[in-house]
Structure 1
Amino acid sequence: MKLALLFMLGVFCGASADDHKNGGKSPDIVYQWNIVEYEWPNDTYKQQQINNTNYIPKNSAINGIKLYNGTVYVTVPRLKPGVPSTLNVIIDAPEGSNGSSHLLRPFPNWDMQELGNCAALQRVQSMEIDPNTGYMWIVDTGYIAKMQDVGVQPVDSCPAKIIIFDLNKHEEVHRYIFPRLTVGYGLFYLNDIVLGYSENVARYAFMSDTLDYKLVVYDYKEDISYAYSHSNMRADEKYINITISNMTLTGIITGINGIAMSPDFKYVYYSSVAGVGLHQIETSVLTSARGNSAAFAAAVRTIGEKVSPGDGMTYGSNDKLYYSALGPNAIYEWDISKDLGSSLDFNTVPLISQSELVSDPRMQWVDTLALDDNGFLWYTTSRLNKFFSSDGIVHHEPNFFIWKIYVGDEHYLSVKQDIPILAGQSNVASIFITTFCVVSAFVLLL
């Protein structure tokens, strides 16, 4: 009997160990679409929107993703005309409906998606959700009809803005219109956002301006903004051509894009799409220099090179940074604790210990990464290499995916400011399983 119990225990513990070990290597496809479909008030209204070209089905590409209380929020940033809704939640399609099994429901409602209404959302690339308050910080970069015309700023266009929205009360808390001297005039595109805490509340938003090559800071408490520019935020000429799945995009001008915040709120990390350098700047500099780019230049440092140009990135609570790798259709992770050494000095840590977390031929253009409350890393693949090609996407094959993969990590905002971060902290569930298996085996052998 004891031998049978020991055998069963061995099977259970071995399987648990394998699941923990391989959980970060086997991603799940949670959602996929050939063509992005929306929840419409009725079929008549949908057909009207198609007839007047307000809805061109093949022109919607899912980019950004964030999660809160089991709800998945995604952005469709109006990269082409005919996108009816730029911020959405994913819902199940009604039973018996044709097409996709999941739809995008405009968030917070259809009225907030009105193109040309500066009070509404025009083009949302990214947002961030504070899990401690349920506040969504929405970055609206404004709208220009065609991305190839992005260098032309119409006089009557809507300025860039940030809206803070309470997801629990379903109401707007605050909005801020960026002055043109900070964001605007000509070539600009607010892209990714991270938040920084001060006195145990989210006070600062740090955003990448991909086309004006700036790092933008918004101070919620003082309701002001300023921006920094540096040569390492620009597109690197060595990487303006990127090959993804035998398709080469040429003349890429996108600079600073992916941005990540350390869980102690001391450092911001960023990188360009057309580039491999990973850069680090102390948040104390960003919040005190008030847009003084000379002070920024004196403090910023390049900590190393990623394996490939990429898009989004995120930093977990276990001192790991995850980043998109476009060329290999992959996500890589940098285990910072391994490179800290005995000094434990983040100001000198180099980018060395980076390894592939996951790759898949279908992971074309890994776009945005987000950690949930259960140890999973979620990410979108937007297939922009195909989307911006001369042929565009086609209806008969999957184009847009949302994946998740277990990494045993947490959102950087889930760790309070006054809790120290311990390098190499083990996963609690793994410790429990190991302890249970050892104790149980010992008891059975008595």
Structure 2
Amino acid sequence: MNHSNVMSLLVACLVAALPCAAVAQSAATPSITPVAQWNRLEFDLDKTAQTAYDKNQTYKKVLLQGTKVDADGNIYATTARWGGPEVPATLSKLVKKDGKWVLQPYPSVAMNRVGDPKALQAVLGIEIDRNGVMWILDQGHVGGKPSQPGSQKLVLWDIKQNKELQSFTFDDSLADSKCSFLNDVVVDNDRDVAYITDSGIFCDPLKGGLIVYDRKTNTARRVLSDTVFTTDQTGFRFRIDNRDVTPDKPMRTGADGIALSGDKKTLYWTNLSSHALYSLDTALLRDPKTSEAALRTAVKNVATLPSNADGMVADRDGNLYLTALELNGILRWDHVTGKFSTVVIHPDMSWPDTIGFGPNGHLYVSSGHLNRFVDTSMDFDHPTSPNFTIWDIGTNSRSYLAK
């Protein structure tokens, strides 16, 4: 770790009121490679659509969010339509066109059609399980407006067979059409269960919560809704690149990053506007007889994070990898020692968003300068560094999804 990285880490410790010994330097620095970079996101469009995209400067409304990699090494990206219905697609596969990476609407243009609740409207979180099934979490909200009936959903798509296997629609009891912000999803293939975070950002107070989905019965239940465990930390503010994030009004976001331990016994999550890492026994979450009161009592405050986190993932051994927004990097939490160490800190990894394993044991991370996007200071023409990047980090671990 170089001097500037050490200083950044020490500053983060002080900001978080943590003893700096709680964060250790990694034994070895892994390789870090930008797989794809853009100043503005480009899609695989026909000539008419491309002309409109350029003329209307639609690219200024498009933000890179999630990224995941399948068993064949194909990379997928999400661009939730926060900027409005003009965004050409909300889920895409990276393909090369004229020697450059572009986003090809996935599974098809039709499946990305705006206004059709059966199509994908605003996808943020996805997961690709060990059977090659993509679990697609559709927020439903386009341009921040209330979701249309049927648009908030979980779609299971078989990548190899290129077909939908099943889907589940979240009604208002599970995800409020106005307040919800379905954020991320993790999958337990052993039990056909998925766990979902809802950040609940569109209402005040926030309506954050967790959702447990059972694929076998195609049912779901919401837990820990509107609790201290799924909402923001009072007065929380944070800085990225020496600038306050949304300085005029603090960003408030509830349950966000989520990870499932390798043995599938423990669920971890964080609230974006907080430094707390929480966990719960999944046996309690899966049992519909477990009362809400019992769940609240069972929640563990596992650790205080050196930086607030957006995405996170567990390896097969139960360790966590977390994106560190205040550090521009990735942290590792050892589930045995409870200590944090740095995986990588990079000045261009501004707002690392989602994180997941590729088939090679490497971590893939998307970063997209969300802080600049939301305060409208993003330069799409001549930025000092690329606005959007998908990174390959040369770790040597197995995903929590591995057998």
TM-score range, shorter chain: 0.7 to 0.9
Q: Distance in 2 between matches of 1:370 and 1:266?
A: 19
- The equivalences for 1:234-383 within 5 A come to 234-239=231-236, 241-250=237-246, 251-289=250-288, 292-337=291-336, 339=337, 351=338, 353-383=339-369
Corresponding residue for residue 92 of structure 1: 96
Corresponding residue for residue 222 of structure 1: 217
Q: Check the 8 A contact 1:143/1:157 in 2, yes or no.
A: no
The yes-or-no answer on 1:403 pairing with 2:391 is yes
Give the counterpart letter for 2:194 in structure 1. A
Q: Check the 8 A contact 1:235/1:252 in 2, yes or no.
A: no
Q: Distance in 1 between matches of 2:290 and 2:152?
A: 18
Deviates most, 261-270 or 319-328: 319-328
Q: Check the 8 A contact 1:129/1:135 in 2, yes or no.
A: yes
Q: Where does structure 2 lack aligned partners over 5 or more consecutive residues? A: 1-25, 201-206
Corresponding residue for residue 194 of structure 2: 205
Q: Over the residues paired in the alignment, what is the CA RMSD in angstroms?
A: 1.8
Q: Check the 8 A contact 2:184/2:196 in 1, yes or no.
A: yes
The structure with more radius of gyration:
1
Corresponding residue for residue 440 of structure 1: none
1:78 to 68, 76, 81: 81
**What is the deviation of 1:368?**
0.4
**What is the deviation of 1:387?**
0.8
Give the counterpart letter for 1:329 in structure 2. N
Q: Distance in 2 between matches of 1:49 and 1:378?
A: 28
Q: Distance in 2 between matches of 1:386 and 1:49?
A: 21
Q: Where does structure 1 lack aligned partners over 5 or more consecutive residues? A: 1-19, 96-100, 340-350, 416-446
Q: Distance in 2 between matches of 1:207 and 1:162?
A: 10
Q: Check the 8 A contact 1:289/1:295 in 2, yes or no.
A: no
Which has the higher relative contact order, 1 or 2, with Cα contacts under 8 A spaced 6 or more apart? 2
> How has the CA–CA distance of structure 1 residues 45 and 328 changed in structure 2, closer, same or farther, with 3 Å as cutoff?
closer
**What is the deviation of 1:49?**
5.3
Q: Percent identity?
A: 29
Q: Distance in 2 between matches of 1:183 and 1:215?
A: 10
Richer in helix (by share): 1
> Tell me, what secondary structure is at the counterpart of 2:382?
coil
Q: Distance in 2 between matches of 1:185 and 1:103?
A: 32
The yes-or-no answer on 1:163 pairing with 2:165 is no
Give the counterpart letter for 2:235 in structure 1. K
Give deviations 1:152-197, integer Å, cap 9, x for gaps.
x36x554311110000100111011112111124211100100123
Q: Distance in 1 between matches of 2:379 and 2:313?
A: 28
Scaled by the length of structure 1, the TM-score of the pair is 0.78
**What is the deviation of 1:59?**
1.5
Corresponding residue for residue 29 of structure 1: 34
Q: Distance in 2 between matches of 1:290 and 1:220?
A: 18
> Tell me, what secondary structure is at the counterpart of 2:294?
helix
Q: Distance in 2 between matches of 1:275 and 1:48?
A: 40
Give the counterpart letter for 1:248 in structure 2. D
Runs of 4+, deviation exceeding 6 Å: none
Q: Distance in 1 between matches of 2:393 and 2:136?
A: 25
> Tell me, what secondary structure is at the counterpart of 1:232?
coil
Give the counterpart letter for 2:67 in structure 1. I
> Tell me, what secondary structure is at the counterpart of 1:295?
helix
Q: Check the 8 A contact 2:122/2:138 in 1, yes or no.
A: yes
> How has the CA–CA distance of structure 1 residues 31 and 165 changed in structure 2, closer, same or farther, with 3 Å as cutoff?
same
Q: How many residues align?
A: 363
Q: Distance in 2 between matches of 1:118 and 1:321?
A: 35
2:174 to 170, 182, 200: 182
Give the counterpart letter for 1:139 in structure 2. L
Q: Check the 8 A contact 1:289/1:296 in 2, yes or no.
A: no
> Tell me, what secondary structure is at the counterpart of 2:49?
helix
Corresponding residue for residue 343 of structure 1: none
> How has the CA–CA distance of structure 1 residues 114 and 316 changed in structure 2, closer, same or farther, with 3 Å as cutoff?
same
The yes-or-no answer on 1:191 pairing with 2:194 is no
> Tell me, what secondary structure is at the counterpart of 1:231?
coil
